[in-house]
Structure 1
């Protein structure tokens, strides 16, 4: 079917905010993807509270005019929504076309019966995210992913109708098996030809096959073909080679429909002796969990924003990602295919038993099959996906509410759609004594050492190929003996346990990897990674906390201290990292969340604390580390793996130069890191991640903003307010920083720096030319960059 993007120029009106406060709003013109939560002020009284980052929800209406030419008569016309959060109702010309409750799965709307040909038609989408709380993290609201118009002849390939597997894989000769589903909406049966052509990355034909297919009237039929590829380029993390499969429907020697699918030829396997293997090579999964939001953009899933997330993960040593806890955008998976990142694609955070009053549990029984099918049918051609996850920390894991039955139902249903990948589910510890009470009622008093978790989750785990363990490191070794043959994956882990986790994973072949919570920081679950000093004892932060503050990489994409430590554990660190504890808290006991990290900053600028003590940790792979302050050695201390990659020093603060020098086992210097005390703010530096954009609408440049002193050092303690203007063929889409408690908005033209840095996101408006971005602040010369768009 022909696909046409429908992202531009929707009329939008916000008619209610949560908690259900009606507002008088006029229609404005917006472009998709669009998130109407991120553009509202955070509300300390919102019913979803810290879980949703104190962002409001509400009800919004989107409208668009669609002209239907007479030539569309007899054709199939479909709308595809990649993601609408949540409770979407779609009307065409005031006729109800579709409802879709789940906010994370893609869905199709058949417009064919309702179109008025030769005239304008009105599409109206009502998005209802007013029933709060309905999520445990920031969801966003609205049509936050792409919308596509799909037009097909009376005989056409159905949406998601091409299914590719690679049953035989080798570089010498591989088999690509293709199933193509074709629909015939006409009154007459049709005899057609399905032609499948596999093209190399250079566009050359690698293999081709033509098959005759009879398609009954008002029905579908499936063609099956084997394409032999010799030689074959295999898809891998290091070489993510992609072919293009061109699928064509031929009638009377004329191509009447076609579609293209990017595929990778690769094999995957899982077993307790060899763990996970890609193309026959064992690989430990260096993974991280990632929510769907795009940081400063809220939930708005711009293609470049999704691609950048994958780039950040790859650049920081990750080879795998777990999509928590819902299917991601197609653009994210496309980037994983293109850049070489392995994926766990996850369906749900809850089943019949809910975690919030208005979450997906309200819809699960009626919708789980449709939403599971949406995930698998849409995503099953992505070579990056190695596991399907049926859920996260499902309450029914102890067997309650038919949990064992549903565990098998969901796993079996996935296998009916795709049996080429492993199926997992992320299990955590039991949250209450329901299972204990049930066991006591059945068995009487339990022995003191009775393994309640192991016994009650055993049947839940039976349908799984890989059992996901959330925060259960202590069970890895014992469960390998208790459940011989079980393959374990650490689907969530605490950042500070990375040393012990990775040491254990390297020793146990049946534990295939680890996924830290989280790789990228996110909105919502505000303050889960907190460090308290005031005796506060709460799971999440109070307003104005709005970021989780637990990611290896912060919401702007800047590395946080735990990411530098992980570099040491994974053996990819280039130099020592100097982690300085804030002097104002010296001697005070810190309450660090289990998802948190010590309150350290890589800075030697602490005005007002001259002569005061602090602690400095140096993260280093080197055998030994020396700390030098203003040319004077503060001593050498052992580091490296035997010392958990940390050398600690007590230091009296004095301004100047702090150096960490790494030495190998022979005492030879291998690396050096230098921190300099910064002076007063004197300049602004703008550094775009891309200084050349595509002229299509929605391409983005992420511009790092830094406040510098006269010598070019970043002024860590600056909180300068920076104002931004963009002229030319683009605009400022978002502004932000890594401050988890800021009350500033992510839309607008100003933002304070945090630790001397901020970020501004610039969007191309669809024309060629230049974008001129200017940053200015009181008392500092303004800075300017030019971004080319062509």
Structure 2
């Protein structure tokens, strides 16, 4: 808009003032036109104070010296790693505490008589919210979404309103992993008519699905805040529900006339048919949209949108899982909610990148371990084609940490579970509800009572999806949650040796591996020999001194926690058992906290298939060779070793029946996978040069991979995952930083300190290198590479333009890369 007036207004200050006035005018016009529902991003320009300030709830409190920032925000990730922040070894060694947020805002007089709400997608944790000094409520659980109505306390026109939020994450330990602290998910200001669809007020199901027709069942919860009409009659409305295809074309409509609003909350049921539906699947996640309109006489009172994916699925005790009638294995991973160097602060692009990397590996399912995720994460799973096990709790009444959710269980569990199901039940990606993970009540009779209560809460709100709980005890007589009969699906964690006997142990029960693995790996580090498995804990190394002095685990798939297994051990069992519906690997990515097997200064997990920076570990290619149809040939480790050292060379491959390995053009022999093997290995006496692997099928070459001895470090390489970005203040570019020799070979043990500078329309918001014991700040403008690599994360500003990123290091040729935001 500004460009239209630039030639008429030469003064930049005048132009800026004109733009502000134009924005205000447009906003006022929007209210004047009686928009039935407005949803405003409420993330900008909050004041923040780290510490406790009791007077901050008061509207006249002076917060001018507080920091100004945008949400979502995680104050913990901004801190320095320190042993002093540890109450146990599990939370990530970053600061917690108490923080306050305040936001001043005005509301147009045209909003008088409307219903105004503030919606929070998640605050960690123990939040209390005030509007103009009036307490709206508290919410202990850090993963719940919730809203408060502001209407009664608002001032309209030029008078300012003040929203204040106190967040208390001081009581530690309250989690077994890094949680983050603050208003770490998105916030919205929602204004509706007095007659409107209630929060999460639509429920869309697909009870009948064929290629010719889908029957869509609709339930709409309508909220009425007005009383009787001027004639003393109850108001009546007309409900119109329209299905749109992905192009926005109407494909079906159902209208219900003369709905009498006899209560403050009523539910209207409808049914529509969609002919020749395009089905949602993991390969083609096609989405329709439901548009709900409420008319009072001929006045539009509300317009509400709901995503819709038309699909059917089935679990069978003997044959596992099928989607739209097609048998498929659930190939899943568990994910915690942190986003590496960005912490818990939600960013859609960061979550999308994680899912892209997992999709390329062949993953088709996510377990949200062990809590409800951000709504945007579920949107992405809908759009990208992932099945989701949506999980509610890590503990019930019996605590796992001294200050955890068990303290508020009695008061809040019903509300929190109901809100999760209502919020998430329209996502086609969700196919299982999980009511808990490794719950301690499974070992006594309290598990029967609570499991039945929780399953009943879920079934009251949704009967279209099965209920499970991730169990550790697989002996039927000893597992009280199983004995409750509340679970539709039995999810078992680890103990893969028992999987084959499940049809006898649990006859006629659907079973899946809800958590597997806990394999331990550090990207780019290799301990030999590689053909012996080391289980950390019982029966294996138990102390830090039994491990490596640099807090590393071998990237060969040969180390695991005592309760778990290597990746190969579990997958080779599950792939052969049709009654096992699938698996969820612990975990897709490394995550902050729970640094088993090492204590401080290790501060993040070793379990991921990808490291904390999102760099694949070698086992990533095992799954890619097993779970995708793309040709794969991956050889490792690197080829820089002391001369004469015996080196184990592994290869993951598919679409071939053999691999031949060459060193400096001399054949080291052909290897073939036999039996249930998932990799091949050569034991090679090291000499510098080039290692080459050739995979063949029926004697014909499929793929060639080479790896050469790297020379002296010479230069920096920058590779951006995306160079064209959106100038929205949120979009990200993840830049991989490599240290190379003159020939372009990665230096596998490089640890250079890289310094970054950013000019133009972007900001450096995070750095990382994936090393689990790195204590450098995620928010610094520098990072040491680890095993040749590190990561820089650039976030756009709201002004379009070019972003120049420069990386320098002493003794190396620097590098620059240009991004464009528009």
- How far, CA to CA, are the matches of 1:506 and 1:610 in structure 2? 40
| Alignment match of 1:564 (pick from 611, 615, 621) | 621
Residue 295 of structure 1 contacts residue 556 of structure 1 at CA under 8 Å; is this kept in 2? yes
- How far, CA to CA, are the matches of 1:681 and 1:9 in structure 2? 44
Q: Between 312-321 and 561-570, report the one with greater CA deviation.
A: 561-570
The DSSP-based 3-state class of the residue aligned with 1:176 is: strand
| Alignment match of 1:550 (pick from 595, 607, 610) | 607
The DSSP-based 3-state class of the residue aligned with 2:581 is: strand
Instruction: Kindly provide the CA deviation profile for residues 498-555 of structure 1, in whole angstroms up to 9, marking residues without a partner as x.
Output: 44433433443331001110112211111x2xxxxxxxxxxx4222211202111111
Give the aligned partner of residue 349 of structure 1.
Answer: 394
Give the aligned partner of residue 771 of structure 2.
Answer: 739
Residue 554 of structure 1 contacts residue 738 of structure 1 at CA under 8 Å; is this kept in 2? yes
Instruction: Kindly provide the CA deviation profile for residues 417-456 of structure 1, in whole angstroms up to 9, marking residues without a partner as x.
Output: 01111111000148xxxxxxxxxxxxxxxxxxxx5x5443
- How far, CA to CA, are the matches of 2:297 and 2:402 in structure 1? 57
Tell me whether 1:138 sits opposite 2:207 in the alignment: no
Give the aligned partner of residue 473 of structure 1.
Answer: 496
Change (3 A) 1:779 1:47: closer
- How far, CA to CA, are the matches of 2:78 and 2:615 in structure 1? 23
Instruction: Kindly provide the CA deviation profile for residues 264-323 of structure 1, in whole angstroms up to 9, marking residues without a partner as x.
Output: 011122121332121111111011101111112110111111222221211111011101
Residue 162 of structure 1 contacts residue 181 of structure 1 at CA under 8 Å; is this kept in 2? yes
Give the aligned partner of residue 116 of structure 2.
Answer: 77
Tell me whether 1:39 sits opposite 2:62 in the alignment: no
Residue 286 of structure 1 contacts residue 514 of structure 1 at CA under 8 Å; is this kept in 2? yes
1:470 Cα offset (Å): 0.1
Residue 129 of structure 2 contacts residue 163 of structure 2 at CA under 8 Å; is this kept in 1? yes
Q: How does 1:202-241 map to 2 (within 5 A)?
A: 202-216=247-261, 219-241=264-286
Tell me whether 1:520 sits opposite 2:589 in the alignment: yes
- How far, CA to CA, are the matches of 1:213 and 1:692 in structure 2? 51
Give the aligned partner of residue 133 of structure 2.
Answer: 94
Give the aligned partner of residue 670 of structure 1.
Answer: 702
Residue 590 of structure 2 contacts residue 610 of structure 2 at CA under 8 Å; is this kept in 1? yes
Residue 11 of structure 1 contacts residue 28 of structure 1 at CA under 8 Å; is this kept in 2? yes
Give the aligned partner of residue 605 of structure 1.
Answer: 640
| Alignment match of 2:472 (pick from 410, 428, 442) | 428
| Alignment match of 1:104 (pick from 139, 143, 153) | 143
Give the aligned partner of residue 363 of structure 1.
Answer: 408
1:261 Cα offset (Å): 1.3
1:781 Cα offset (Å): 2.7
- How far, CA to CA, are the matches of 2:258 and 2:112 in structure 1? 24
- How far, CA to CA, are the matches of 1:52 and 1:458 in structure 2? 28
Give the aligned partner of residue 40 of structure 2.
Answer: 4
Residue 331 of structure 2 contacts residue 362 of structure 2 at CA under 8 Å; is this kept in 1? yes
| Alignment match of 2:508 (pick from 451, 461, 485) | 485
| Alignment match of 2:671 (pick from 637, 655, 658) | 637
Q: How does 1:395-544 map to 2 (within 5 A)?
A: 395-400=440-445, 402-429=446-473, 451=475, 454-457=477-480, 459-460=482-483, 462-494=485-517, 495=519, 496-526=565-595, 528=596, 540-544=597-601
Unaligned runs of 5+ in 1: 18-23, 431-450, 529-539, 581-602
1:689 Cα offset (Å): 1.2
Residue 198 of structure 2 contacts residue 221 of structure 2 at CA under 8 Å; is this kept in 1? yes
- How far, CA to CA, are the matches of 1:513 and 1:730 in structure 2? 42
Q: How does 1:115-130 map to 2 (within 5 A)?
A: 115-118=154-157, 119-130=159-170
| Alignment match of 2:657 (pick from 618, 623, 644) | 623
- How far, CA to CA, are the matches of 1:502 and 1:754 in structure 2? 29
Give the aligned partner of residue 373 of structure 1.
Answer: 418
Instruction: Kindly provide the CA deviation profile for residues 174-231 of structure 1, in whole angstroms up to 9, marking residues without a partner as x.
Output: 1111111111111223211111111111111011111125354760112211121112
The DSSP-based 3-state class of the residue aligned with 1:131 is: coil
Tell me whether 1:156 sits opposite 2:156 in the alignment: no
Change (3 A) 1:274 1:613: closer
Give the aligned partner of residue 438 of structure 1.
Answer: none
- How far, CA to CA, are the matches of 2:381 and 2:689 in structure 1? 44
Give the aligned partner of residue 390 of structure 1.
Answer: 435
TM-score relative to the length of structure 2 = 0.85
- How far, CA to CA, are the matches of 1:231 and 1:663 in structure 2? 43
Residue 290 of structure 2 contacts residue 306 of structure 2 at CA under 8 Å; is this kept in 1? yes
- Superposition RMSD on alpha carbons, in Å? 1.9
Tell me whether 1:749 sits opposite 2:781 in the alignment: yes
Instruction: Kindly provide the CA deviation profile for residues 682-719 of structure 1, in whole angstroms up to 9, marking residues without a partner as x.
Output: 22221111111122221111111111211111112111
TM-score relative to the length of structure 1 = 0.89
Unaligned runs of 5+ in 2: 1-36, 54-62, 229-233, 520-564
The DSSP-based 3-state class of the residue aligned with 1:305 is: helix
1:620 Cα offset (Å): 3.1
Divergent runs of 4+, >6 A: none
- How far, CA to CA, are the matches of 1:138 and 1:572 in structure 2? 36
Tell me whether 1:295 sits opposite 2:335 in the alignment: no
1:482 Cα offset (Å): 2.5
- How far, CA to CA, are the matches of 2:386 and 2:810 in structure 1? 43
- How far, CA to CA, are the matches of 2:779 and 2:584 in structure 1? 32
Give the aligned partner of residue 435 of structure 1.
Answer: none
Query: How many residues of Structure 1 are paired with residues of Structure 2 in the alignment?
Result: 724
Q: How does 1:233-312 map to 2 (within 5 A)?
A: 233-312=278-357
The DSSP-based 3-state class of the residue aligned with 1:224 is: strand
- How far, CA to CA, are the matches of 2:223 and 2:609 in structure 1? 47
| Alignment match of 1:689 (pick from 721, 724, 730) | 721
Give the aligned partner of residue 779 of structure 1.
Answer: 811
The DSSP-based 3-state class of the residue aligned with 2:457 is: helix
- How far, CA to CA, are the matches of 1:31 and 1:648 in structure 2? 51
Residue 660 of structure 1 contacts residue 673 of structure 1 at CA under 8 Å; is this kept in 2? yes
- How far, CA to CA, are the matches of 2:411 and 2:250 in structure 1? 45
Residue 753 of structure 2 contacts residue 783 of structure 2 at CA under 8 Å; is this kept in 1? yes
Change (3 A) 1:784 1:460: farther
- How far, CA to CA, are the matches of 1:693 and 1:571 in structure 2? 29
- How far, CA to CA, are the matches of 1:648 and 1:461 in structure 2? 48
- How far, CA to CA, are the matches of 1:65 and 1:326 in structure 2? 32
- How far, CA to CA, are the matches of 1:473 and 1:683 in structure 2? 46
